[in-house]
Amino acid sequence: MLTVNTAPLVTVDASDMTICEGDNASFSITATGTGLTYQWEVSTNGGASYASATGGIYSNETTATLNLTGATAAENGNMYQCIVTGTCIPAVTSTAKMLTVNTAPAITLDATDMTICTGNDASFAITATGTGLAYQWEVSTNGGASYANATGGIYSNETTNTLNLTAATVSENMYMYRCVVSGTCSPNDTSLVYTFYVNNTSSSSLTQSACTSYTLNAQTYTTSGTYTQQFTNAAGCDSTLTLNLTIDNIDNTVTANGNVISANQMGATYQWVDCGNNNAVIPNEINQVFTATSNGDYAVIVTMNTCTDTSVCTNVTTTGISDNSFANMVALYPNPADKQITISAKRNLTDFSVKLMTLTGQVIMKKENLNGSSFTLNIAEQASGFYFLEISEGTDVVRMKFMKD
């Protein structure tokens, strides 16, 4: 009998394998020939060199099927081939095949709790490893009792490793966030839970009146108006203080005309004092206009709102001021006046005249050939302000200042 042995021949090659880390795998070939033997080899350097696959995760490495049990990420990219020998030569080598080991998701760097001020932006970011990763950020509005996908509204990039929150408000305060990372392999990995704190900005207002100037927090204001100051509140957020300020600047000057002294500040309260008598209060002299009945030095205390100021002393040296002088015989009322002002004399005046004049001496109105102890002048159409009223009888002349409301 003639026996013809055949050389080894691989008729069916193995296939590339893709598994998840920890799974089992196998490479299997089909070969023909006489007296076949098998030796599987592994390359860990991309096929540059090979060594026998033996021990560890390998079994059946001298059969047509190489088994790998519980492959790890360290075997990812390894290449496998089988050398088939037999009774006859030459030996044959199968086509090299690659093992791909995918890894499950693993979060390697977590985010942290976040604190911001209302209206600001925020973000939570994680780092993860694994094959074919996908991300889904979730939010809990009930202290972690339940979670739902964070989507829309203030949220963006909620399916990436970084969740962005734009212009967050206090309504999101104490919300809790986490990220679920999935991939080609299971199981999913879920991040830690991060708490989001949103502190409120604050604002307050202050209404204040002051004399001449007002200082608030080392800032001095000298004019009325509305002002704002910015601070940082206890929560570290912006705090706005609005100051509604009224500055009362008193005009403490006076105008003197003979024995008549007028305070130039309108709309205030007045108290005339005798400078020569240690600033003693002159009883009942509380009008804007003061008529001195004797020579001396006089001043006025002007009070408006919360402010009080005193004029300089004005010297009155009008000759002939006495109880029976012409000036002392004539009086005006009311002062200030609105529609009319009345001249009242202590005796009947004969052929006297009245002039209404501006403070610059311009004659606005003149009445002549008057007789009697009383005369009323209509001033309803005159503008508000100060005026002089000059009364003359023969050579006697007195000029008095009054205010028109």
- Whether residues 279 and 290 fall in one domain: yes
Confidence check: pLDDT of 400 > 80: yes
1 domain residue, yes or no: no
Give the residue-averaged pLDDT of 97-126: 97
- Whether residues 208 and 195 fall in one domain: no
- Whether residues 172 and 209 fall in one domain: no
- Whether residues 27 and 55 fall in one domain: yes
Check residue 323 and give its pLDDT: 43
Confidence of residue 359 (pLDDT cuts 50, 70, 90): confident
- Whether residues 128 and 206 fall in one domain: no
With residue 389 as reference, give the H or E element that holds it.
Answer: strand 385-393
Check residue 386 and give its pLDDT: 87
- Per-residue DSSP letter, 337: B
> What is the CATH number for 141?
2.60.40.10
394 domain residue, yes or no: yes
Check residue 258 and give its pLDDT: 79
- Whether residues 286 and 242 fall in one domain: no
End residue of a domain, out of 61, 82, 102: 102
Separation of alpha carbons 166 and 275, rounded Å: 71
End residue of a domain, out of 158, 179, 199: 199
Q: Tell me which amino acid residue 219 is.
A: Q
What is the domain range of residue 261?
Answer: 254-316
- Whether residues 264 and 340 fall in one domain: no
Q: What is the mean pLDDT of the chain?
A: 92
Confidence check: pLDDT of 384 > 70: yes
Check residue 293 and give its pLDDT: 76
Check residue 292 and give its pLDDT: 85
pLDDT in tens, 68-104: 999 999 999 999 999 999 999 999 999 999 999 999 9
Check residue 318 and give its pLDDT: 64
Give, in order, the Cα–Cα distances in Å from 144 to each of 107, 138, 148, 163, 175: 20, 10, 10, 18, 8
Cβ pair 134, 159 in contact under 8 A: yes
- Whether residues 154 and 211 fall in one domain: no
Confidence of residue 267 (pLDDT cuts 50, 70, 90): confident
pLDDT in tens, 278-313: 999 999 899 998 888 788 999 999 998 878 999 999
Give the residue-averaged pLDDT of 97-113: 97
Cis peptide before 90 (omega within 30 of 0): yes
Separation of alpha carbons 92 and 96, rounded Å: 12
**Tally of CA atoms within 13 A in the half-sphere of 251 that contains its CB:** 11
pLDDT in tens, 19-37: 999 999 999 999 999 999 9
- Whether residues 95 and 14 fall in one domain: yes
187 domain residue, yes or no: yes
pLDDT in tens, 143-160: 999 999 999 999 999 999
290 domain residue, yes or no: yes
2 domain residue, yes or no: no
228 domain residue, yes or no: yes
What does the buried/exposed string (b/e) look like for 373-398 if buried means 16 or more CB atoms within 10 Å of the residue's CB? Answer: eebebebeebeeebbbbbbbbeeeeb
Cβ pair 39, 31 in contact under 8 A: no
- Whether residues 284 and 362 fall in one domain: no
Chain Cα centroid distance, residue 366: 65
Q: Which of 392, 385, 396 is nearest to 262 (CA)?
A: 385
Separation of alpha carbons 123 and 96, rounded Å: 47
Give the residue-averaged pLDDT of 383-394: 90
Check residue 320 and give its pLDDT: 44
Counting Cβ atoms within 10 Å, is residue 48 exposed (0-12), middle (13-18) or buried (19+)? exposed
3 domain residue, yes or no: no
The residue behind tokens 């005369």 is: 375
Dihedral (C-alpha) 273, 277, 279, 281: value to the nearest 10 degrees? -40
> What is the CATH number for 349?
2.60.40.3080
pLDDT in tens, 305-349: 878 999 999 998 864 444 447 877 888 899 999 999 999 998 999
- Whether residues 111 and 96 fall in one domain: no
Check residue 185 and give its pLDDT: 97
DSSP string, 42-92: EESSTTS--EE--STTEE-TTSSEEEE-S--GGGTT-EEEEEEE-SSS--E
Confidence check: pLDDT of 253 > 90: yes
Check residue 322 and give its pLDDT: 42
- Whether residues 112 and 96 fall in one domain: no
95 domain residue, yes or no: yes
Total domain count, the chain:
5
Separation of alpha carbons 345 and 366, rounded Å: 18
pLDDT in tens, 202-241: 889 999 988 888 899 999 998 999 999 998 888 889 889 9
Q: Residue 284, SS3?
A: coil
